[in-house]
Amino acid sequence: MIEAFHIEALAQVSPAWPVIIGGLIAAIIPNFTLRKALALVVPVLALVLWFNPAAPGTYGIIEFGGFTLETFRYDPLSRIWGLVFIIAAFINAIYGLHEKDRLADTMGMIYAGAGLGAVFAGDLLTLFFFWELTAISSVFLIWGARNNAAYKAGLRYLAIHILSGVLLLAGAVIRASETGSWAFDETLTIETTGGFLIFLAFGIKCAFPLLHNWLQDAYPKATITGAVVLSAFTTKLAVYALARGYAGTDILIYIGAVMTAFPVFFAVVENDLRKVLAYSLNNQLGFMVVGVGVGTELALNGAAAHAFVHIIYKALLFMSMGAVLLRVGTVKASELGGLFKSMPATAVFCLIGAASISAFPLFSGFVAKALTLAAVAQEGHVIIWFVLIFASAGVLEHSGIKIPYFAFFAHDRGLRVREAPANMLIAMFLAAALCLWFGIFYGNLYEMLPFPEAALYYEPYTFDHIVGQMQLLLGAMFAFTLLVRFGLYPEEKRSENVDFDWTYRRFGDGALRWIWAMMDRLTAAIGNVINAVGRKLGGRMFEAFSPIGALSRDIPSGLLAIWTSALLAVVLLIAYLAP
Amino acid sequence: MSDPSKDKSDELIHPVARPFLWLDAPWLKSAMIWVFGVLALAFAAVDLFHHRHEYVPFAETYGFYAWWGFASFVAAVMIGWFGIRKFLGREENFWDKESHDD
């Protein structure tokens, strides 16, 4: 199958290049139709290149400035991430067909291409190049909203992602100076300074706890299409990087467990449904990070499978909320309700995304999440396993119920809008179809995983697993209906919940402003003292040496000339006699 | 909830959605408690007749997932609303009202 596609002349070309070059070409194409055609064609070209390598290996090696850059490492791990990035780029291109924004088209393609480039990077320098390119290109998808809040969120987003890149480069340089290696592989470790800095760089992009606020800050403020595009690449690239470099690092198990649990509480009370999805994204990343931390074949398969299906169903949920935002003008839960009467197809697609992320049997989340949970339990991490089961119920709460319920059902607010545009519906249909396809024909997913033998050995559709999962979901849904019935599920309110970002957006910002103001005052006070001393000294000098000063008044100028000559003579004498 | 009879005369409702207007009916909210309650109990009851094999022994107790799901959901909502919202909830323009943030 793979050999049938093999084109020797293109064997060295990474799938990233057509997508990035397509983005650059789009920048100079004023014609909207041509740009959109290009956005659809480049993922197809990338797919051809993805199929092209005859065997796993490192291709596209470039010698540059004494460095060896590996631009196309094709192995089971990069293969599955590359494929889902290409699928996401194609679906996103369809979703954005209505959007007439040349900058968004350009940056959307460059961003997707940079994500692919990073996934296929075989060394840390190549990774750094694409890592930074994802940051720089993606910020335009936030700024594309063209409002002040988006502009400021974009700046914060850019700052932290550039910091991530700087840490990556610093870590890589330190590591290279110690070991002489630029390899981006399993030899990375957090026990060395370089390795730890690289880990931190990956952690920022992966939205580790306390480093996560950029995600909830920026994604909800991005453009409608931008949020969908952003949801696919950055964070999953970070999970890939962790899986590549730090698989089996124990601390990731605990970091991941915290990531699955804490966003649940924030998502419950969040009114902005795109922000709910951003918290939900954090929670889902947690499952993947736990899988990477456990590091067994089954666990890494779980992380890869989860990343694959998550990209699709999370995009589907963001797409459905994007359609609501386009038609209604808001995604505030407090303003929505009853939209299934106006947007029935969008509602159905949203429900499919919700069922997938909640891991209902027959949907993709069910077959993916099961791998990670099984691996965690098999390795004896019982407490972590309980946390993950709690987080699974939490996912159902915020993404499975809250998103579709408040947007499309709950209280009918009398919103009568048009159904989403055809291109959005097609994109949502494709994503929804994939959610079902991989949920039912899970073998297609499992055989693409990094360790297909281990995956195919695992059977997700056992009687026990189905019964257990249905118990969990129905128990949680029963709780929801009960809480609503007894008024214990509070109405959504227009509000803002501060998170850890308060520490730098309010406290840190305030502290810096206070320090700045104090520095201003100190500078002014020092200036005043210097001026006062200067004025006083100047006055005294003036009194002494000015034409009307004391020296001019009392001492004849001839006498002053004599004294000056005498002093000069003394100086000359000293200079002459000095050894 | 809107008035279903009013909905029928609402021409702006999508034709595809018309056969499903009952989804908005008040009786459904009460009915869902029974539907989900009975289904949850039914799946929990399966444990009485069938021993589930789990990697974690405690998960093999009767109806474990059902009550864990119920308790987790309630805990998430309660901690969210009466913990996070109470202590971290602010007015909607919390960030925007700052003179330097507009």
Prediction ipTM score: 0.89
What was the pLDDT predicted at A555?
59
How far is B59 from chain A, CA to nearest CA, in Å?
A: 9
Please give the angle made by the CA atoms of A425, A430 and A431, to the nearest 5 degrees: 100
Rounded to the nearest 10°, the torsion over CA A296, A298, A302, A303 is: 20
Contact (Cβ atoms closer than 8 angstroms) between residue A308 and residue A315:
no
Instruction: Name the residue among A148, A394, A471 with its Cβ closest to that of B65.
Output: A471
Other beta carbons within 10 angstroms of residue A468's beta carbon come to 26
Q: Is residue A563 part of a domain?
A: no
Whether A468 sits inside 8 A of B32 (CB atoms) is no
Q: What percent of chain A has pLDDT over 90?
A: 80
| Contacts with B79 from chain A: Cβ below 8 Å | 265, 268
Contact (Cβ atoms closer than 8 angstroms) between residue A26 and residue A109:
yes
The total of structural domains in chain A comes to: 1
Which pLDDT band holds residue A9 (cuts at 50, 70, 90)?
Answer: confident
Determine the residue type at A155: L
What was the pLDDT predicted at B6?
61
Please give the angle made by the CA atoms of A258, A260 and A266, to the nearest 5 degrees: 90
What are the tens digits of pLDDT across the range A90-116? 999 999 999 999 999 999 999 999 999
Average pLDDT for B92-99: 68
Whether A476 sits inside 8 A of B30 (CB atoms) is no
What was the pLDDT predicted at A4?
55
Pick the closest to residue A241 from A367, A115, A364, A365 (CA basis): A115
Q: Is residue A523 part of a domain?
A: no
Q: Is A473 on the interface with B (CB under 8 A)?
A: yes
What was the pLDDT predicted at A414?
85
Q: Is A436 on the interface with B (CB under 8 A)?
A: no
Residue A568 pLDDT > 90, yes or no?
no
Is the C-alpha dihedral spanning A463, A469, A473, A474 positive or negative? Answer: positive
Q: How many CB pairs under 8 A join A and B?
A: 201
What was the pLDDT predicted at A8?
78
Q: Which of A233-247, A341-355, A478-492, A493-507 has the lowest mean pLDDT?
A: A493-507
Residue A394 pLDDT > 80, yes or no?
yes
What are the tens digits of pLDDT across the range A282-291? 999 999 999 9
How far is B12 from chain A, CA to nearest CA, in Å?
A: 6
| Helix (H), strand (E), coil (C) string for A503-527 | HHHHHHHHHHHHHHHHHHHHHHHHH
What are the tens digits of pLDDT across the range A46-63? 999 999 988 899 999 999
How far is B100 from chain A, CA to nearest CA, in Å?
A: 10
Question: Where is A59: in which H helix or E strand?
Answer: strand A57-64
Q: Is residue A336 part of a domain?
A: yes
Q: Is A475 on the interface with B (CB under 8 A)?
A: yes
Which pLDDT band holds residue B100 (cuts at 50, 70, 90)?
Answer: very low
Instruction: Name the residue among A343, A471, A509 with its Cβ closest to that of B43.
Output: A471
Unique residue bearing structure tokens 């929505």: A336
Whether A471 sits inside 8 A of B69 (CB atoms) is yes
Whether B69 sits inside 8 A of A463 (CB atoms) is no
The token pair that represents A214 in the structure block: 């950029």
> Which chain B residue has the Cα nearest residue A489?
B77
Whether A393 sits inside 8 A of B24 (CB atoms) is no
DSSP, collapsed to helix, strand or coil, labels residue A15 as coil
Q: Is residue A75 part of a domain?
A: no
Instruction: Name the residue among B40, B80, B84 with its Cβ closest to that of A478.
Output: B40
Return the bridge partners of A332, or none: A272
Which pLDDT band holds residue B9 (cuts at 50, 70, 90)?
Answer: low
Average pLDDT for A263-273: 92
| Contacts with A516 from chain B: Cβ below 8 Å | none
Residue B97 pLDDT > 70, yes or no?
no
Pick the closest to residue A279 from A397, A362, A452 (CA basis): A397
What span, in angstroms and rounded, lies between the C-alpha atoms of A261 and A270? 15
How far is B14 from chain A, CA to nearest CA, in Å?
A: 5
What was the pLDDT predicted at B102?
34
What span, in angstroms and rounded, lies between the C-alpha atoms of A280 and A192? 33
| Contacts with A267 from chain B: Cβ below 8 Å | 80
What was the pLDDT predicted at A294?
97
The token pair that represents A354 in the structure block: 């919700």
Q: Which of A275, A373, A472 to mutate to test the interface with B (most CBs of B within 10 A)?
A: A472
Q: Is A472 on the interface with B (CB under 8 A)?
A: yes
More confident call, B92 vs A127:
A127
Q: Is residue A396 part of a domain?
A: yes
Residue A556 pLDDT > 70, yes or no?
no
Average pLDDT for B44-63: 92
What was the pLDDT predicted at B101?
35
What was the pLDDT predicted at A17?
97
What span, in angstroms and rounded, lies between the C-alpha atoms of A324 and A329? 7
Whether A478 sits inside 8 A of B29 (CB atoms) is no
Contact (Cβ atoms closer than 8 angstroms) between residue A404 and residue A347:
yes
What was the pLDDT predicted at B99?
40
Whether A393 sits inside 8 A of B47 (CB atoms) is no
Q: Is residue A401 part of a domain?
A: yes
What are the tens digits of pLDDT across the range A450-481? 999 888 889 999 999 999 999 999 999 999 99
Whether B14 sits inside 8 A of A341 (CB atoms) is yes
Q: Could you write out the DSSP letters of every residue in A130-160?
A: HHHHHHHHHHHHHHTT-SHHHHHHHHHHHHH
Whether B80 sits inside 8 A of A463 (CB atoms) is no
**What is the CB-side half-sphere exposure of residue A472 using CA atoms within 13 A?**
26
Range of the domain at A333: 247-495
A175 Cβ neighbours under 8 A, 6+ residues apart: A124, A181, A182, A188, A192, A194, A195, A198
Average pLDDT for A520-524: 93
Q: Is residue A100 part of a domain?
A: no
Average predicted confidence (pLDDT) for chain A: 92
Other beta carbons within 10 angstroms of residue A509's beta carbon come to 15
Query: Most confidently modeled of A3-17, A373-387, B2-16?
Result: A373-387
Average pLDDT for A521-550: 86
Whether B93 sits inside 8 A of A385 (CB atoms) is no
> Which chain A residue has the Cα nearest residue B34?
A478
What are the tens digits of pLDDT across the range A145-196? 999 999 999 999 999 999 999 999 999 999 999 999 999 999 999 999 999 9
Q: What percent of chain A has pLDDT over 70?
A: 97
Q: Is residue A472 part of a domain?
A: yes
Instruction: Name the residue among B73, B91, B96 with its Cβ closest to that of A476.
Output: B73
Whether B101 sits inside 8 A of A152 (CB atoms) is yes
Other beta carbons within 10 angstroms of residue A141's beta carbon come to 27
Residue A280 pLDDT > 90, yes or no?
yes
Whether A478 sits inside 8 A of B101 (CB atoms) is no
Whether B29 sits inside 8 A of A397 (CB atoms) is no
